[in-house]
Amino acid sequence: MQEYGGAPMSEDGKRGSRSERRASRETRDDIDDSPEAALPNEDANREADSTVNRLKYGIGLIADEIDPGVSPESDAFCDDAANSSRADGSGTATQARNGHEHMLNHLQEIRPPATAKHLTWRDIKDLEPWKRAMFWRWFIIILVFCLAYLGFVCTQLVKAGENEQSDWYTSHQVSEEYNTLANERAEENNSVKVTTGTYVETVNAVNIKESSYTLTMKLWFRWDGNDDLDMANNFTVYRGKINTKETLVDLTEGETRYQLLRVNVTVNQVYSTERFPLESHQLNTIVESEYPAVKVILVTDPQDPTQFNTKLPIAGYRVTGGVWGVSSYIEKSTHDDPSLVEAPVTSEYVTAINIERDGFGLFFKCFIAMYGTTIWVLIMLYICGHHRVDPLGMIPGALFGTVSNIMVGAALLPDALSLGLLEYTNIWGVLTIVICAVVIIQINNIRSEHGRKDENYARLFGRAMFWLVTPIVVIGNFLLPIVAYLA
């Protein structure tokens, strides 16, 4: 470093920074350039100590501007200069000035060259073998691991959607064996055919955590002959409880008997939660006759089958359709009833409503905290890769925020559940934090282990990993909910 007009100059002839010029002025104002300015030994040592302390302050200003990490080194050199200036008891201002020159030369040595080349992607091929191997090793590990995880999760979500649809159709496949048996017994015993239909007025609640739903519907029965039958008081709801039952119409016209009821029922149903909170469900309400098939068999109303309220309100869901029909069921045993020779067969009427999530509102409620911590760790990775800053101490807070985020969605689900979108997305958030933490550790190792001369490589490594991790994380956070919603 040269000087011009009392201010430090860099090797290219330009004046130093403002703090360098200020430090130089402050220190040189206290230094007498005259060789005759010798002082008595005690006064000279005291003067030298005072001057070097000012030098330490001035050099500290310059060191802080260059890099806060070099201040301790500069302080050590200042102390060496002070000891040198009073070693033989003949310290002078000129010797202190020599210490000042020594400090500035030291700062020039530790300062990163102003003309150092910033490495780019094109420079990777020119790196030393160990640097190039390290770069590509971490690049491939992160890329392959993330793509493998996303591929696995998307496959599982698609299978979950297919299984839901398969379960719906399987649950409504009429057993030909049971129907044949019921029809045979009905013909043998001249059973009464009861025409049945339903009209769903409203779905009061869908409670996934309690594995139940509540709805209100109109239910009607119509049959000819046999005035002894009373269907309004001889039916049950499979896996359900009739909360209220109101008879709206009960009339007889000739041989025709007609009963119309409004019932409110709560049905226990195990929901599929693999795609929660973007899932779809089928609400199955099964009305069973308490009369056996030898006495009554239910048939679908051909003129007025099951219908739905066109504005059927369901909080958080929308209705996408429904199915209905009659099936038969055979008891597994006679329950040791002496009046029964064989297990009874009963007839049942099925009403099914298909519903799906109405938008992404609940999804963002479940994951907004995780998205916030994900953005935060990506910012930390960016800072570490572009500046000489170590943000590793902020990782635990982000990790805690992501792990605790799963409690938001878990509070809406039963305690026993299978892995699904909720767990996969939170695991993706945890993996994002772990990957960013590992990359930050590698950047710190490059800087600390291999010295300041590898600062450019540390920044290249950090920038490259940031632009690799960020797009993958963003794509993953968009891909998972979209696949789950469309599955």
Provide the terminal-to-terminal Cα distance of the chain, rounded to the nearest Å: 68
CA angle, 55 then 59 then 61, to 5°: 125
Q: Could you give the CA distance from residue 427 to residue 327 in angstroms, rounded to a whole number? A: 43
* pTM listed for this prediction: 0.71
Q: Could you give the CA distance from residue 427 to residue 412 in angstroms, rounded to a whole number? A: 18
Q: What is the DSSP pairing of strand 212-224 with strand 192-207?
A: antiparallel
- From first to last of the 487 residues of the chain, give the pLDDT tens digit: 444 344 444 444 444 445 455 545 544 444 444 444 444 456 656 665 666 566 555 555 454 444 444 444 445 555 555 555 444 444 445 555 565 566 556 555 545 444 445 677 788 888 889 889 999 999 999 999 999 999 999 999 999 888 877 765 555 555 666 677 777 777 788 888 999 999 999 999 999 999 999 999 999 999 998 888 999 999 999 999 999 999 999 999 988 999 999 999 999 998 888 999 998 898 999 999 998 888 888 888 877 666 777 678 788 898 888 888 888 777 766 666 666 667 778 888 988 888 988 888 889 989 998 999 999 999 999 999 988 888 988 888 888 888 888 888 888 888 766 789 999 999 999 999 999 999 999 999 888 865 556 888 898 999 999 999 999 999 999 999 999 988 8
Can you give 366-421 as a three-state secondary structure string? HHHHHHHHHHHHHHHHHHHHHCCCCCHHHHHHHHHHHHHHHHHHHCCCCCCCCCCH
- Output the pLDDT for position 70: 45
Q: Could you give the CA distance from residue 430 to residue 146 in angstroms, rounded to a whole number? A: 12
Q: What is the CATH number of domain 172-357?
A: 2.70.170.10
Q: Could you give the CA distance from residue 231 to residue 223 in angstroms, rounded to a whole number? A: 10
- Output the pLDDT for position 66: 46
CB of 429 within 8 A of CB of 373? yes
- Output the pLDDT for position 405: 81
- Output the pLDDT for position 12: 44
One-letter amino acid at 52 equals V
Q: How many helices (H) and strands (E) does the chain have?
A: 10, 12
89 Cβ partners below 8 Å, 6+ apart? 41, 44, 45
**Per-domain residue ranges of the chain:** 2-110, 130-158+361-486, 172-357
- Output the pLDDT for position 228: 85
**Residue whose C-alpha is closest to residue 278's, from 336, 364, 217:** 364
- Output the pLDDT for position 381: 94
- Output the pLDDT for position 337: 67
456 Cβ partners below 8 Å, 6+ apart? 116, 117, 118, 119
Query: Which residues are registered as beta bridge partners of 240?
Result: 267
- Output the pLDDT for position 213: 95
**Residue whose C-alpha is closest to residue 294's, from 194, 192, 189:** 189
- Output the pLDDT for position 429: 94
CB of 105 within 8 A of CB of 1? yes
One-letter amino acid at 63 equals A
CB of 210 within 8 A of CB of 262? no
- Output the pLDDT for position 416: 64
State both tokens at 429: 């958030």
42 Cβ partners below 8 Å, 6+ apart? none
State both tokens at 54: 């000012």
Q: Could you give the CA distance from residue 368 to residue 360 in angstroms, rounded to a whole number? A: 12
